[in-house]
């Protein structure tokens, strides 16, 4: 059974279609998106599906395989329900509906039943939320005749996440989920929203991406993520610039002079991470995927020491994967839990998996979930 099958089974009404969108793994470029910087994610094969049936009234009814209760909201009451909050998981699909209506005033909204099913692990840093947003936005864009392109639908997803759910994230996740290309990552300028697919060539080089989901759950709408964003804003304000995107590595000596230690280290991570994204894209173009390992390792060290968003489980996953032969490894996602990724020769996958399981057991950590991901297609209509 796929997510599409599960969504159709849950709908229990004649569907007008099924749309899906993938999660994403971020190869490099963490916490740079809301600083208008550079990111380099790829869509993964694991997807969330949204099956849709039409109604005769103005009610949006959402159900999912990951919650027991259906949530119903009339279109007339949608603004008030979003403002009131407290919708839990339903804030994502209903937030998309709300944002789409505001972003596409020519749309023709009508009542719908939406059934959601997902293959994307929740809390693993693989953006299960963007997968929901992308699937629902793609569905309602078609059903309501909104006529938005994929970049505009990514904006709809970000508005839902920021304003309906209250998570202060950037637009990277939504853009990766909407614009994914098979065997490529999306090089994204978060200021201009210009994108370029960059071939990865992992399989051709005999490499694979191993994900170690630590099962340490995180929540972006809670304090740690918000505090990091506020530190970045303080750093930009101290320099009188719109965002940290406007600063470069050459500005770090001055930053160390004028900023307190914590703010400086947050700023240093973002500035150096932006440069690592640019260097990674250049290395892939020039020398292929085997050349990017040191950049992945440096990114993890920066997130661990300067941005302080790693946890012991993530550090152990990275260290063990490198000891088992990975070309490079880093935590991925917003941090405070979630997953690490390792770029590793395919023939070492089994041994590396065993090594990570053994290391977690020896440290008394919960047994992680370990699997591979492949760069895959973005949002689409499936049926």
Contact 271, 249 (CB under 8 A): yes
Alpha helices in the chain (DSSP H): 3-11, 78-84, 91-103, 128-143, 150-159, 172-179, 223-239, 252-258, 261-287, 293-305, 312-323, 349-363
CA distance 114 to 112: 6
Please tell me the distance from the alpha carbon of residue 200 to that of residue 134, in angstroms, as a whole number.
23
Cα–Cα distances (Å) from 304 to 162, 308, 318, in that order, read: 25, 5, 11
**CA distance linking residue 279 with residue 335, whole number of Å:** 22
Catalytic residue (choose from 173, 213, 306, 382):
173
Closest Cα to residue 371, out of 329, 339, 334, 331?
339
Axis crossing angle, helix 128-143 with helix 172-179, rounded to the nearest 10: 60
Cβ neighbors of 377 (< 8 A, separation 6 or more) are 22, 43, 180, 181, 182
Interhelix angle for 293-305 vs 261-287, to 10°?
170
Q: Judge contact between 51 and 15, C-beta under 8 A.
A: yes
CA nearest to 220, candidates 179, 152, 166, 177: 166
Using an 8 Å Cβ cutoff, are 189 and 303 in contact?
no
Dihedral (CA of 7, 11, 13, 17) sign: negative
Cα–Cα distance between 160 and 175 in angstroms, integer? 14
**Any catalytic annotation for residue 88?**
no
Beta carbons of 51 and 21 less than 8 angstroms apart:
no
Find all residues with CB under 8 Å of 334, minimum gap 6, and list them: 30, 31, 125, 169, 218, 220, 225, 309
The set of catalytic residues is 173
């Amino acid at each position: 059974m796929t997510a599409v099958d599960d969504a159709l089974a849950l709908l229990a009404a004649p569907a007008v279609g099924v749309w899906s969108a993938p999660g994403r793994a971020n190869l490099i470029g963490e916490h740079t998106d809301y600083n208008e910087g550079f990111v380099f994610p790829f869509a993964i094969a694991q997807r969330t599906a949204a099956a849709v049936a039409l109604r005769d009234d103005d009610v949006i009814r959402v159900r999912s395989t990951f919650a027991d209760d259906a949530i119903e909201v009339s279109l007339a009451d949608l603004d008030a329900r979003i403002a009131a909050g407290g919708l839990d998981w339903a804030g994502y699909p209903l937030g998309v509906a709300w944002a789409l209506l505001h972003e596409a005033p020519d749309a023709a909204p009508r009542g719908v039943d939406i059934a959601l099913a997902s293959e994307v692990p929740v809390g693993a840093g693989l953006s299960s939320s963007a997968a929901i947003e992308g699937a629902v936005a793609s569905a309602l864009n078609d059903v309501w005749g909104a006529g938005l392109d994929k970049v505009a639908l990514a904006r709809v997803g970000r508005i839902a996440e920021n304003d309906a759910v209250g998570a202060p994230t950037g637009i990277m996740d939504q853009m990766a989920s909407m614009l994914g290309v098979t065997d490529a990552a999306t090089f994204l300028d978060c200021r201009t929203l210009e994108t370029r697919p960059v071939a990865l060539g992992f399989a051709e080089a005999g490499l694979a991406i191993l994900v170690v989901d630590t099962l340490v759950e995180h929540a972006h709408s809670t304090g740690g993520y918000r505090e990091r964003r506020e530190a970045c804003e303080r750093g930009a304000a101290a320099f009188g610039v719109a965002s940290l995107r406007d600063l470069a590595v050459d500005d770090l000596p001055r930053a160390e002079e004028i900023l307190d230690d914590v703010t400086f280290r947050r700023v240093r991570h973002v500035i150096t991470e932006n440069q690592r994204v640019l260097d990674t894209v250049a290395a892939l173009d020039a020398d292929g995927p085997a050349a990017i390992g040191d950049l992945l390792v440096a990114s993890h060290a920066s997130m661990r020491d300067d941005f302080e968003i790693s946890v012991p489980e993530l550090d152990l996953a990275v260290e063990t994967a490198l000891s088992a032969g990975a070309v490079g490894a880093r935590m991925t996602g917003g941090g405070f839990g979630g997953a690490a990724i390792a770029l590793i020769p395919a023939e070492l996958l089994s041994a590396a998996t065993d090594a990570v399981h053994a290391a977690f057991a020896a440290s008394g950590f919960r047994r992680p979930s370990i699997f591979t991901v492949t760069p895959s297609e973005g949002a689409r209509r499936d049926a």
